[in-house]
Amino acid sequence: MENHIFNFILGMNLSLPLAILVAFRAGRFRGLNEQNMEERLGDLAFDSLKEQICEKMEALFIHWNGANLPLPGRLTIQQVAAHIHNDVEDMGVLQQIYFSLVNQGMDSEYFLQALEYVNYFGGFG
């Protein structure tokens, strides 16, 4: 079964860090079998990448703001990230967003879109 998981994860064309994260998290799955592997690992990969986008965006906001992250109102970093990736289920698009945030940081078009979205709700406190 481990070979099937390994081959499936490799076939997803994930970046190496994300593939390692997904493989590590998949190791904790209970009841994973050949019938549900594709769906469960696919969901895990999407969720893991969206989580990584969220974490990177939060780090960039903290760096940009120079302090903690007081988002306006009840706005959460998860909502900001979801606005940027539109809950898309395209691994290529999600990886493009993630690597833009990693490589370009605060100059990333996605960070600038997120900043604009936060400013629409009143900016930082």
Instruction: Give the angle 71-96-107 at the CA atoms, nearest 5°.
Output: 55
Q: What is the mean pLDDT of residues 91-95?
A: 92
Whether 44 contacts 22, CB under 8 Å: yes
Is the pLDDT score of 82 beyond 90? yes
User: How many Cα neighbours within 13 Å face the side chain of 39?
Assistant: 6
**What residue type is assigned to position 84 of the chain?**
I
The number of distinct structural domains making up the chain is 1
Q: What is the mean pLDDT of residues 67-78?
A: 80
Range of the domain at 53: 2-120
Report yes or no on 103 lying in a domain.
Answer: yes
Whether 73 contacts 122, CB under 8 Å: yes
The pLDDT tens digits of the residues spanning 23-56 come to 888 888 888 888 888 898 889 999 999 999 999 9
Q: What percent of the chain has pLDDT over 90?
A: 40
Report yes or no on 24 lying in a domain.
Answer: yes
DSSP assignment of 90-117 equals: -HHHHHHHHHHHHHHGGGSHHHHHHHHH
Report yes or no on 67 lying in a domain.
Answer: yes
Q: What is the mean pLDDT of residues 65-84?
A: 83
Q: Where are the alpha helices (DSSP H) in the chain?
A: 2-11, 16-26, 37-65, 77-85, 91-104, 109-120
Report yes or no on 9 lying in a domain.
Answer: yes
pLDDT band at 106 (very low <50, low <70, confident <90, very high): very high
3-state class (DSSP) for residue 24: helix
Report yes or no on 125 lying in a domain.
Answer: no
